[in-house]
């Protein structure tokens, strides 16, 4: 099966650039809000966040995923696994999350639609990486073996 070189993949570099627009891991309030809106669309909590939700489950997934993304040489399959989490927390029609991202993204003066644009771009990039590098699926050759009359 053909496997492209993930280290040089433009989508890897795009994903690095997109994730760099987000606050760092020390911003617990931000990551807790992303986790809450990623799991369900609803009003943001107003409580003060001092520790990561779910005993740091999401933060741990992001920490490991980003480390694998930045690793040289990069492992496309490991990053594809992380991309499933990106889809879990950012994909779908989530206007509450988009509005929250509008306020928090490092985008300079452009902020009107930045949250939605960011989430869609992040998820499109993550999806392309999953399709290209996720080794957990059977291949097309496995699903459609060569017919006996062509062998």
pLDDT, tens digit (0-9, with 9 covering 90-100), for 87-144: 999 999 998 899 889 888 877 666 678 999 999 999 999 999 999 999 877 777 777 7
- d(CA 81, CA 63) in angstroms, rounded, equals 13
Sequence-distant contacts of 105-114: CB under 8 A, at least 24 apart: 105/21, 105/22, 106/20, 106/21, 106/22, 106/23, 107/21
Structure tokens at 30: 């931000």
Residues 54-96 pLDDT 10s: 567 888 899 999 999 999 999 999 999 999 999 999 999 998 8
């Amino acid at each position: 099966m053909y496997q492209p070189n993930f280290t040089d993949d433009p989508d890897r570099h795009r994903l690095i650039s997109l994730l760099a627009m987000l606050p760092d891991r020390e911003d617990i309030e931000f990551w807790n809000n992303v986790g809450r809106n990623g799991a369900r669309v609803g009003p943001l909590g107003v409580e003060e966040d001092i520790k990561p939700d779910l005993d740091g489950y999401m933060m741990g997934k992001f920490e490991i995923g980003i480390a694998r993304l930045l690793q040289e040489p990069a492992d496309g399959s490991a990053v594809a696994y992380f991309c499933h989490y990106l889809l879990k927390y950012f994909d779908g029609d989530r206007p509450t999350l988009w509005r929250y991202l509008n306020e928090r993204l490092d985008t300079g003066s452009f902020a009107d639609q930045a949250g939605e644009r960011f989430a869609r771009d992040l998820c499109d990039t993550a999806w392309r990486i999953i399709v290209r590098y996720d080794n957990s699926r059977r291949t097309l050759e496995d699903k459609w073996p060569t017919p006996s009359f062509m062998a």
